[in-house]
Structures are given as C-alpha cells and as structure tokens.
Chain A
C-alpha cells in the first residue's frame, strides 16, 4: 500500500461548483498533514495545514480523521484560478527524523 493515496483525477468542473478531494495515508505514526497546490511545472505551494478539528480558509475546508487515516479537501464556489494539481502531504517519521511524503496529486480543471 502506498504511503499516501489520493483520488485519481482529473476532476473537470464548471465555475461555481463544489469539489471534494480525498486522501488516505498508511503510517499511523504520521504527525501532521497538509494540502499543497502545484501548478504546471512549478514547485508545490502550501495551501493549508489539516487539523483534527477540521479547519477552513475561505472557500477551502480541510478535514482529518485519524481513526480512518483519511484526509479531505473541499473547495466551494470553484474559480478558474483553482485549476491546478492538489497534493495530499503527510509528515511521517523516518530514519532521518521526519519527512514530507506526497500523494500523486489530483488534477482539478475548472472551466467557464
């Protein structure tokens, strides 16, 4: 089982739609969780951290279920500028301390 697995994409939605991405992780010792956004041929950029209590940042809501080892991201009122690849990222312990492990990403395409 891969360390971080995400919904296969792509997601093609119209502007204004609500879209949800799911992610599961395998290492129960994982300590922190994030969603990153990556635009084509660019470095990933932190979108938001994910907390057990759930957290919201504008149109974006992230949820974490530690028991199920499941993370989600909800985007409301999609904009054209939301088109990107969304990466589920988990901070896991390794022999060097901890490291960020990335999911394969889910591509979102928002059209007018």
Chain B
C-alpha cells in the first residue's frame, strides 16, 4: 500500500483562486519532503525541499510567494498554489524520505491541477 498519500488526485479551479495540495507520510515520520512539478512529456522538476519545522528551500525560478509550502508536522506537508493561472496547470507530486527508511524516497500518487 501507499506510504505517501497525496490529496486531491484531481482538481479543477478557476483562474485567480488558490489550491492546496496535501502530502502525508502514512507509516513513517518524514523529516524531509520534496515537491515536484511535471508538465506533459517533460521531466519532473524539483520545486522545493521542505524540512519539518523550517522554511522550505525553493529551487531557482520557483516563486515562493506563489507556491506556499508548509511542513508543520513530521507527517504532513502542504503546497498551496496561490492566484492560480492556466499556465500553472500541471502534475504536482510530492515525495518523502527519512534516514529511518534507509533514505528511500517514497512518492505520492500525484495531483493533477487544471486551472480554467
């Protein structure tokens, strides 16, 4: 079964609204979570690294005020796409790992965001 759960799997929102995606580690405490974005026929692009209890570290070119990441507990990280626009439509996927899992990285099922 899944060890990292992501919700929602699909979401359609209107342009200008905000959308929150949750990523939960189910069987372990994830000290670090990663958020990726994947456009059609493109690779997964790392957006940010989220460490529990501290601010996320964003990759170059990713707007931290637009993609708000919160990692308030060892089992939950959230990504909020603020003021979404059609070009934000993409597949967003989180992953989580911990030294206690042998540094294995587990992926969530991903969230398809469509902004209309």
The answer on a CB contact under 8 Å between B57 and A96 is yes
Contact of B46 among A41, A87, A99, A103 (CB under 8 A): A99
Known A-B contacts A42-B110, A102-B44; A95 and B57 likewise in contact (beta carbons under 8 Å): yes
Chain A residue contacts of B43, Cβ below 8 A: 4, 87, 102-105
Among A43, A45, A101, residue most surrounded by chain B Cβ atoms (within 10 Å): A43
Known A-B contacts A43-B93, A43-B108; A99 and B44 likewise in contact (beta carbons under 8 Å): no
Closest A residue to B57 using CB positions = A96
Chain B interface, DSSP helix/strand/loop, else mixed: strand
Q: How far is the CA of A43 from the CA of B51 in the complex (A)?
A: 22
Q: How far is the CA of A42 from the CA of B109 in the complex (A)?
A: 7
Known A-B contacts A95-B57, A100-B95; A45 and B49 likewise in contact (beta carbons under 8 Å): no
- Check A16 for interface membership: any CB of B closer than 8 A: no
- Check B105 for interface membership: any CB of A closer than 8 A: yes
The answer on a CB contact under 8 Å between A97 and B95 is no
Chain A residue contacts of B34, Cβ below 8 A: 99-100
Known A-B contacts A100-B95, A100-B105; A43 and B46 likewise in contact (beta carbons under 8 Å): no
The answer on a CB contact under 8 Å between A97 and B105 is no
The answer on a CB contact under 8 Å between A97 and B32 is yes
Known A-B contacts A43-B107, A43-B108, A99-B49; A104 and B57 likewise in contact (beta carbons under 8 Å): no
Chain B residue contacts of A96, Cβ below 8 A: 32, 49, 51, 57
The answer on a CB contact under 8 Å between B46 and A100 is yes
Q: How far is the CA of A41 from the CA of B107 in the complex (A)?
A: 14
Chain B residue contacts of A104, Cβ below 8 A: 42-43
Interface members, chain B 85-116 (any A CB < 8 Å): 91, 93, 95, 104-105, 107-110, 112
**Which residues on A are within 8 Å of B, measured CB to CB?**
4, 41-46, 87, 94-97, 99-105
What 7 A-B pairs are tightest by C-beta distance, nearest first?
A96-B49, A96-B57, A104-B43, A102-B44, A43-B107, A102-B43, A43-B110
